[in-house]
Amino acid sequence: MKLPTGASRVVFIFAHPAGHVGAPRYYTPYFEERGLDWHMVPMDVHPDDLARTIRTLAKSPSTAGFNLTMPHKPAAFELCDHVGPAATFEGVVNTIRIEADGKLVGESFDGGGFLNAAREANMFDPERRTVVIGAGGAGRAICHALAAAGLKRLRILNEVPAPVELLAAKLRGQFPDLDISLEERFDDVGLCVNATSLGLHASDALPMDPSNLPGDCAVFDIIAARRTEFMEALASRGLKVVDGVTMIKHQLPLQTAFWRLGR
């Protein structure tokens, strides 16, 4: 892998904290394979400093764009001058490009990355119920992508009820034929998605009891930093498990094409 020079361009990935961020190991080689002298650099940015940091770095021609992860996606949405259709529905942004006039354009590619990864793994069956655990930025993106792809039955679970109710109302408004359930049950589930941050640390609770899932259920855990206890418990039962690394790899082409539209 080439080392960056003064002619290189940087895609910053912002998180807080940032110690778990491993995305550069996938992004920088991907850029190089496509002839781009781009490098991803992670940065721990406190939420209070996000706006100032983005606006300052956007002024540099060395900056190719920004990637946002927890907890910055909702705040990044508010910073953008324009946002794409997925971001408009979800109210979050995980990707920002810089236009020639300095304006910031944001979009959310979590849903697209998830859906393409699930399809590649033969996990997406529009006829069977999918349960998504988590109604934060990633959960909203995944639910929206599933609904747009023609899923017929969706269940959304979240520790706090208000975000789920709001998301369900938005989905029903755009996808009136989608059967949305908020009850906590798993017996009819064909795909279970952990869209929470549970699993980033070994001390985290499991997002749900793995024994409650049917034996033919597939599981997608968006955690990419480590092989979680949840994943191991499900794999030990013989269930198909896909982790967040696959989601990252499927976001890469979408995000890179988006950044290349900028200055």
Q: Report, as an integer, the average pLDDT of 193-216.
A: 94
141 and 233 share a domain? Answer: yes
User: pLDDT tens, 5-18?
Assistant: 999 999 999 999 99
Is 251 within the bounds of a domain? no
Active site residue 103: no
CA–CA gap between residue 167 and residue 154 (Å, rounded): 12
User: pLDDT tens, 153-166?
Assistant: 999 999 898 999 99
127 and 230 share a domain? Answer: yes
Q: Does residue 174 register a pLDDT over 80?
A: yes
Is 192 within the bounds of a domain? yes
Give me the torsion for CA of 1, 30, 25, 15, rounded to 10°. Answer: 130
38 and 93 share a domain? Answer: yes
Domain that holds residue 85: 9-108
134 and 242 share a domain? Answer: yes
96 and 50 share a domain? Answer: yes
Q: How many domains does the chain have?
A: 2
127 and 104 share a domain? Answer: no
Q: Are 225 and 20 in contact (CB under 8 A)?
A: yes
Catalytic annotation, pick one of 73, 103, 152, 240: 73
Q: Are 165 and 182 in contact (CB under 8 A)?
A: yes
User: pLDDT tens, 101-155?
Assistant: 999 999 999 999 999 999 999 999 999 999 999 998 889 999 999 999 999 999 9
49 and 131 share a domain? Answer: no
Is 42 within the bounds of a domain? yes
User: In this structure, what CATH number is given to the domain that contains residue 130?
Assistant: 3.40.50.720
Cβ-count burial of 163 within 10 angstroms (0-12 exposed, 13-18 middle, 19+ buried)?
middle
Q: Which of 56, 76, 108 corresponds to the end of one domain?
A: 108
Number of H helices and E strands in the chain, helices first, is 9, 12
